[in-house]
Amino acid sequence: MEAVVVDAGSKLLKAGFAVPDQPPSMVIPTQMKQVPEEKSLADASLLENVTVDPVVRGFIRDWDAMEDLLTHVLYTGLGWEIGNEGQILFTDPLSTPKAVREQLVQMMFEKFNISGFYASEQAVLSLYAVGRISGCTVDIGHGKMDIASVIEGAVQHISSKRFEIGGLDLTNLFAQELHKSNPLANFSFSDVEKLKERYACCAEDDAAYEKFQQACPEEQHTLPDGQVIKIGKERYTIGEALFQPSILGLETHGIVEQLVRCIATVSSENHRQLLENTVLCGGSASMTGFEDRFQKEASLSSSAIRPCLVKPPEYMPDNLSKYSAWVGGAILAKVVFPQNQHVTKADYDESGPSVVHRKCF
């Protein structure tokens, strides 16, 4: 049985057996609805809209909910049998606390009785997915944005940075902008998410963005409940916020300048190797026009060596940027488990949860 690879984000959980040239077989919402234990109608109506988020800003926060979610994924979704559990590889976000890594390996061995465990950082895996072992990743997830530099398969933490800003914040911004132009409309969060996925895009540069703010063609859109709204310049504001964070009320540099500044802290002999192998990943990176805008901003960068994007190999699945950490995990699983580089049950029984720091790096 192939190892299972799990990439649990704040919005979506990607899981499947390690087949690198295919997308994950399960892509499901991480958020869960609370269900009453007793089937009483009174409880059911009270809990109808109560949701639980096992993963917040990239890190697991609710371990009981995560256990329930993984039980569904592994046994119902992927067909594991109790008493015959296999091996599993998890992707780690940048700067995952040691305690979170330990609690995860503990849960997997003690609650799920797995036969083998491995975890690797998302930045390293996203580079593996495009055939690189050194480079930079700009990962814009739902709850966080990570900029990481990787040399020979190892994250350089001194020149990597985590930002608590992501697709969630862009959705909230979109909601605010839509309310300004549609003051009488009522939007649910899921309405705005779907509108963002359909309409959000990046202007080709800041001059084009300013032009759209002055005059922009409007489209009408009918919400599921029949309300008709208009969408115009708001669609460009979301992408622009990544290049002009002041739109979100943040006093910080845009995404390309942040990348250049992170790499500036590494030895200059590595700058070319890192910047010329830049990978964009995460859901927001697939926004229409984002890649072109990133390239344009990179060409205007103050850096002597300018960031250059790596194109994924043709045999890789479409929308690789959304699944790159998972795909890289599938590639790595084909190496670490057959070569016995993973944490075994015997390792765990001998050393306890801290073994994860020694064997998974």
Tens digit of each residue's pLDDT (9 = 90 or more) over 44-94 = 555 567 899 999 999 999 999 999 999 999 999 999 999 999 999 999 999
- What's the whole-model pTM score? 0.93
Q: Is 133:105 a contact under the CB 8 Å cutoff?
A: no
CATH topology of domain 167-247: Actin; Chain A, domain 4 (3.90.640)
Which pLDDT does position 45 carry in this prediction? 58
pLDDT higher than 80, residue 314: yes
d(CA 218, CA 105): 51
Which pLDDT does position 313 carry in this prediction? 84
Q: Is 145:281 a contact under the CB 8 Å cutoff?
A: no
pLDDT higher than 90, residue 116: yes
Percent of the chain with pLDDT over 90: 86
d(CA 283, CA 73): 21
Q: What is the pLDDT of residues 146-166, one digit of tens each?
A: 999 999 999 999 999 999 899
Q: What is the pLDDT of residues 228-265, one digit of tens each?
A: 999 999 999 999 999 999 999 999 999 999 999 999 99
Q: What is the pLDDT of residues 322-346, one digit of tens each?
A: 999 999 999 999 999 999 999 999 9
* Tokens representing residue 282 in the block: 């995460």
d(CA 16, CA 284): 22
d(CA 236, CA 219): 13
> Looking at the domain that runs over 4-35+51-128+318-360, which CATH code has it been given?
3.30.420.40
> Looking at the domain that runs over 131-165+250-300, which CATH code has it been given?
3.30.420.40
Q: Do domains 4-35+51-128+318-360 and 131-165+250-300 have the same CATH topology?
A: yes
Domain residue ranges in the chain: 4-35+51-128+318-360, 131-165+250-300, 167-247
The pLDDT-based confidence of 299 (bands split at 50, 70, 90) is very high
For 41-45, the CB contacts below 8 A with 24+ separation are: none
Between these two residues, 143 and 38, which has the higher pLDDT value? 143
Q: What is the mean pLDDT of the chain?
A: 93
Which pLDDT does position 48 carry in this prediction? 62
